[in-house]
Structure 1
Amino acid sequence: MVSISPKIEQEVLSLPVQERLALIDKLIESLNFPKVTIIDDIWADIAEKRLLEINEGLVSSVSGNEIFSK
């Protein structure tokens, strides 16, 4: 494993969570990793299919509270 600068690590870990998440997004984007695009496309297809099923009355939605209470 490649070691990173302790100074950079300390600075990053001291950032608020939202800023660290934004940094993670930027770092992932910078990798130009094709799987990320493929995964995004697959999730988009699944979301569109589910929305279509809901709109056509084939399935009904369930609230998150109901799911987590089970």
Structure 2
Amino acid sequence: MKSESKDLLKEALALPPVQRAALVDQLLTSLDKPDEAIDNLWRKEIAARLRAYRSGTADTISAEEVLAEYRAK
């Protein structure tokens, strides 16, 4: 890590927790660039899942079952 990066990190670590969290959020958002190919794949997946749900061919689990299984662990 370069000296200026180390200095920046030292300053960031001195911030109050809420400000550090906001900074982290902004930094991560800056790295999350839209990818049209991935977005298209997700659109297709969502459409396929919705078709399966509406046609009754999707395997579904009720929220109660999911929560009961989670709580049992």
Aligned partner of 2:60 in structure 1 is 61
Tell me which residue corresponds to 1:48.
47
Match of 2:31 in 1: 28
Gaps in structure 2 of 5+ consecutive residues? none
- The normalised TM-score by structure 1 is 0.50
For residues 14-62 of structure 1, the C-alpha deviation after alignment (integer angstroms, 9 at most, x for no partner) is 237x74674222x124xx46xx332232122111110111001111422
| Count of residue pairs the alignment pairs up | 63
* Larger helix percent: 2
Q: TM-score, normalised by structure 2?
A: 0.49
User: Distance in 2 between the 1:55 and 1:21 partners?
Assistant: 40
* Residue identity in the other structure for 1:49: A
Identity percentage over the alignment?
A: 16
When structure 1 is superposed on structure 2, of 59-68 and 41-50 the one drifting more is: 59-68
